Amino acid sequence: MADAMIEAVSEVRKSSQFIFALRSQQCGRGVVGRGETIMRKRLAMILIIVTLCLAASLAQGRRGGFGEGRARGGPVHLDERTTLDLFAVLLHLSDAQQQQLHTVLDAAVQAAAPIATQMASTKEAVIEAVKAGKSAAQVKTLAGQHASLSSQMLTLQAQTFAQLWALLRSDQKSHVDTSMYDDLGALLANTRPPLFPGAVPASHPEGPAH
């Protein structure tokens, strides 16, 4: 099943490259149809679905089946691999650009991991402080700590977006929208450090294959 999904991702990428080539020819003749834009977005959505299904399939294989609680129906978050694939399709990134973006995302994820972990802790601390009836001053202090971490994460998000923008050509920049900025924020906010020092997460583009 995993092999079939990987092949499907490859086919989607090939289709997107063909459409981009066709679009370039149309631009030269001054003819760009609305249908091409719709098709490009549909291809991107197919890529997301296929990639997420692949990730779910691999995760299920490692666990030996669905786990308890939120494992079955919890929210799905973009990981580094999926984000890279999504942007590659939407922005028609070359192989060189994909490698550059891989480097950018890798550095951003590593920087975001400790911040995201601390944000989760301070958020829990605020909730527990309120439930325990702590004073307004104590709650405010904890909330301030969380806000400071949130500011760091937003700064990292903006810096990562700036690096993405810098590696794009002018024609590619026209395809960038606010949802891509939000995607980067979601990726960074849901980043977690590896369980073991020096380990590469399985969702990483160069993570271990099992």
Residue environment code for 148-164, b if the CB has 16+ CB neighbours within 10 A, otherwise e? ebeebbeebbeebbebb
Helix axes 2-29, 34-63, angle to 10 degrees: 160
Q: How far apart are CA 115 and CA 53, in angstroms?
A: 28
The answer to whether the pTM exceeds 0.75 is: no
What are the residue boundaries of the structural domains of the chain, listed by start? 1-67, 78-200
Question: How much is the pLDDT for 1?
Answer: 46
Q: Is the pLDDT of residue 88 over 70?
A: yes
Question: How much is the pLDDT for 54?
Answer: 54
Summarize pLDDT for 96-126 with one digit per residue, the tens. Answer: 999 999 999 999 999 999 999 999 999 999 9
Q: Are 79 and 55 in contact (CB under 8 A)?
A: yes
> What average pLDDT does this structure show over 18-36?
49
Q: Are 50 and 126 in contact (CB under 8 A)?
A: no
